[in-house]
């Protein structure tokens, strides 16, 4: 029995997966859900980048050096991982999922598109995979600029990546268009509650 089988064997809950291109609003929606459903617990992703302003280690992400992250890959500590940008890795630690299930809660993921599809592939019907989409690429670009956290070069890279990611939207269980944040948050609550009561 491998580590994934062990996880599934010991499961006490389901998984909710939120993925989206950068700037679509998935993190805001996930935070709203966490504030309104005490049975959900956030799976803190690991990454090999430096924290952005207002980001806290162990709260927003588990921040590792590139060397530490690649060592964890070699030690098979991730259920999924990906090099999202050059030398910029993101992944989900097996220990994080086990921690949440051990507490009798449902895991909620905020991951990039490839990570979301990898998780859905592994957890199948145990997971609800939601793709959050901005109304348009233009709106996405506007939101990225409004964040003021990226250089022009990085914004251009993110926009190109978003175009590729949007092609994969149909591979998710649900596409949630975030045109109006308040409506999108309420729709997300309904989707999650319907899934958890099935």
Whether 83 maps to a domain, the answer reads yes
46-55, 108-117, 149-158, range with the lowest pLDDT: 149-158
pLDDT at 187 over 60: yes
Whether 45 maps to a domain, the answer reads yes
Question: What is the model's pLDDT at position 10?
Answer: 52
Whether 165 maps to a domain, the answer reads yes
Whether 175 maps to a domain, the answer reads yes
pLDDT at 141 over 90: no
Whether 29 maps to a domain, the answer reads yes
Whether 198 maps to a domain, the answer reads no
pLDDT at 4 over 70: no
Paired sense of beta strands 46-47 and 62-63, if any: parallel
Sheet-wide strand order for 127-133: 40-42, 106-111, 15-19, 127-133, 174-177
Q: What's the domain range around 58?
A: 16-190
Q: What is the CATH number of the domain that holds 117?
A: 3.40.50.300
Contacts of 39 (CB under 8 A, 6+ apart): 13, 105, 106, 196
Residue 107 phi, psi (nearest 5): -80, 130
Tell the burial category of 139 from Cβ atoms under 10 Å away from its Cβ (0-12, 13-18, 19+): middle
Residue found under tokens 């964890």: 72
Could you give the number of structural domains in the chain?
A: 1
Whether 163 maps to a domain, the answer reads yes
> H or E element: which one contains 96?
helix 94-102
Whether 4 maps to a domain, the answer reads no
> H or E element: which one contains 194?
helix 181-196
Confidence band of 3 (pLDDT split at 50, 70, 90): low
């Amino acid at each position: 029995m491998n580590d994934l089988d062990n996880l599934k064997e010991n499961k006490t809950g389901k998984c909710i997966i939120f993925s989206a291109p950068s700037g679509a609003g998935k993190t805001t929606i996930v935070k709203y859900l966490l504030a309104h459903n005490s049975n959900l617990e956030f799976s803190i992703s690991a990454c090999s980048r430096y924290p952005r302003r207002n980001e806290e280690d162990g709260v927003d992400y588990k921040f590792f050096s590139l060397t530490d992250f690649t060592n964890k890959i070699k030690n098979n500590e991730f259920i999924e991982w990906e090099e999202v940008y050059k030398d910029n890795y993101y992944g989900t630690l097996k220990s994080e999922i086990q921690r949440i299930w051990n507490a009798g809660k449902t895991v909620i993921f905020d991951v990039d598109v490839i990570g979301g599809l990898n998780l859905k592939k592994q957890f199948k019907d145990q997971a609800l995979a939601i793709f959050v989409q901005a109304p348009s690429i233009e709106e996405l670009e506007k939101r990225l600029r409004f964040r003021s956290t990226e250089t022009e070069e990085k914004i251009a890279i993110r926009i190109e990546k978003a175009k590729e990611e949007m092609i994969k939207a149909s591979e998710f269980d649900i596409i949630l268009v975030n045109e109006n944040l308040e409506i999108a948050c309420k729709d997300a609550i309904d989707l999650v509650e319907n899934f958890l009561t099935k």
